[in-house]
Amino acid sequence: MNNGGEDHKGNAVNNMKWSVKVARIFGIDIEVHATFLLILALGAFQWGGEYGAPGAVFGMLLMLLLFACVVLHELGHSIVAKILGLPVRQILLLPIGGVSKLEKNPERPVHEFLIAVTGPIINLIIATILLLSTGASKWIGSLNARGLVDGQPMKPSGEALLLWIIAANISLAIFNMIPAFPLDGGRVFRSLLAMFIGFPRATRFASALGQLIAIGVGLFGILSGNLLLTLIALFIFLEAGHERAEEQARTVLTTLRVGDVYNKYALTLAPGDQVSQVVDYLLTSYQPDFAVVQGTRLLGVVTRNDVLKALAAETQDVYVAGIMEREVLSAEGSMPLDDVRRLMQGKGTRIAAVYDGEKYLGLISLDDIAEAILVSAYVKNQEMRRAAEASSQF
């Protein structure tokens, strides 16, 4: 299952702390979230209860092969995205599926359409190859809707493994094409709408439909006692809302430049200043981050966390040059605010240094960008309200 690829992209799961890199394919990191162990345990439990240790091993192997297909699904999305010029940050495996994380959303509807449909097509190709190359169709002919072959339950075997993988790939293709944003089908739906009404309005329609479908799927999962289906429905509902908020933020941020938002009156530090000076600033201002400058040159950044760590570890009043972060992400003041936000998220940092060519201007943080979103949205709403009031007077 694909959550759309962006990290947004502020996802509910902090994968940076809970995931482990297991491979790198075509320049794309494949990471497994710690909670992925739950799906292995589920496979072992389902098959081990009746068939003992061999069944438990079979169940875990089945889950691993299933998620290998999920990786191929996500690689399909990611490779097409790279071909279209969209950088791919990583592929993350979760118990409820896979997530392709792109650095930014596709700007053209046709690009999103091509990226979205590739994953389900990959699953159908896998199922077709397995059917044609293994002769599995003869077993499928004797498989009924209850998972019985010739009236007997399927037992751990090569045939059972093959049938499950084929069925899983077909199911993945069908499920992902449900028009519930942010599933692949929802993204296809949004891309088709966006060709006529633009991404912002298309996202509102697609996310609303996605949440409506998620409510229906969630109720069915609860009534049928299907916990995994319920969790997937919850994931779809939350991600659809997140995508709507993300698109609204992107619409606002594309009209602003980094140079419009950074703090032009921020307090700065010299490399010879001591931590006690920063403590005074922290206590008497709302500023949490401080640039360490020498003349007009930026040397590094001291954050609130840096100060707290220094206070906990040091007994003396040390110089800020000894605790500052020297590697600071840089951004041109002319960059759109949305671009620098995505750059900061992609690099895993909350601060960037703003430049005008070689000239250092100041710092900008994710908090500054969040405030800009709120202020701009408020101003826009007020303008719309005044326009509506003016039109009602005629």
Q: Which segments of the chain are extended strands (E)?
A: 19-25, 28-33, 88-94, 97-102, 148-149, 152-153, 268-269, 289-294, 297-303, 329-332, 351-356, 359-365
Nearest-angstrom CA–CA distance, 344 and 289: 15
The reply to whether 275 and 248 lie within a common domain is: no
User: Residue with structure tokens 């600071």?
Assistant: 328
CATH number at residue 336: 3.10.580.10
Residue entry with tokens 């405030």: 371
Per-residue pLDDT of the chain (394 residues; tens, 9 = 90+): 444 344 433 343 344 457 788 888 888 888 888 877 888 888 888 787 777 888 888 888 888 888 889 999 999 999 999 999 888 888 888 877 788 888 777 889 999 999 999 999 999 999 999 888 776 655 555 554 444 444 445 677 777 788 888 888 998 899 899 988 888 999 999 999 999 998 888 888 999 999 999 999 999 989 998 887 888 889 889 888 888 877 877 777 777 888 888 888 888 999 889 999 999 998 888 888 999 998 888 999 999 888 888 888 877 888 888 899 999 999 998 888 888 888 887 788 889 999 988 889 999 988 888 888 787 777 766 766 776 666 666 5
What pLDDT does 16 receive? 44
Whether 205 and 86 map to the same domain: the answer is no
Is 387 among the domain residues? no
String of b and e for 31-51 (b: at least 16 CB within 10 Å)?
bbbeebeebbbbbbebbbeee
- Kindly state whether residues 43 and 112 are assigned to the same domain: yes
Asked if the structure places residue 386 within a domain, the reply is no
Residue 24 lies in a domain: yes
Structure tokens at 347: 């690099």
* pLDDT at residue 337, as a whole number: 84
Using the 3D structure, point to which of 190, 222, 253 is the last residue of a domain.
253
| Cα–Cα distance measured from residue 254 to residue 364, given in angstroms and rounded to the nearest whole number | 16
pLDDT at 163: 83
- The single-letter DSSP state of residue 218 is H
| Residue 383 within a domain | no
Residue 147 confidence (pLDDT): 47
Please name the amino acid found at residue 83.
Answer: I
Predicted pLDDT of residue 145:
43
Cα end-to-end span (Å), the chain: 51
Non-local (6+) Cβ contacts of 53 within 8 A are: none
Instruction: Give the number of domains in the chain.
Output: 3
Q: In 3D, which of 126, 125, 127, 116 has the Cα closest to residue 77? A: 116
**Per-residue pLDDT at 154:** 67
Asked which of 177, 212, 245 is the last residue of a domain, the reply is 177
Q: For residues 280 and 297, state if they share a domain.
A: yes
Task: Write 322-330 long-range contacts (CB < 8 A, 24+).
Answer: 323/275, 324/271, 324/292, 324/299, 324/300, 325/300, 325/301, 326/299, 326/300, 328/298, 328/300, 328/301, 328/352, 328/353, 329/353, 330/354, 330/355
- Asked if 346 and 201 sit in the same domain, the reply is no
| pLDDT at res. 9 | 37
The pLDDT, as a whole number, for residue 265 is 85
Last residue of a domain, one of 152, 177, 202: 177
What is the reported pLDDT for 148? 41
* DSSP percent split of the chain into helix, strand, coil, nearest 5: 60, 20, 25
297 and 191 share a domain?
no
* Strand order across the beta sheet in which 268-269 lies: 268-269, 289-294, 297-303
- What pLDDT is recorded for position 315? 75
Contact between residue 33 and residue 67 where contact means Cβ atoms under 8 Å apart: no
Q: Give the amino acid at 49.
A: G
| Bridge partners, 99 (sequence order) | 92
Residue 79's domain comprises 1-177
Q: Is 378 within the bounds of a domain? A: no
CA–CA separation, 339 and 329 (whole Å): 13
The answer to whether residues 137 and 268 belong to one domain is no
Picking from 98, 67, 68, 103, the residue whose alpha carbon sits closest to that of residue 82 is 103
Question: Please, are residues 274 and 318 in contact by the beta-carbon 8 Å criterion?
Answer: yes
Q: What is the Cα 202 distance to its own chain's centre?
A: 20
Same domain, 87 and 233: no
Residue 218 main-chain phi, psi, to 5 deg: -65, -45
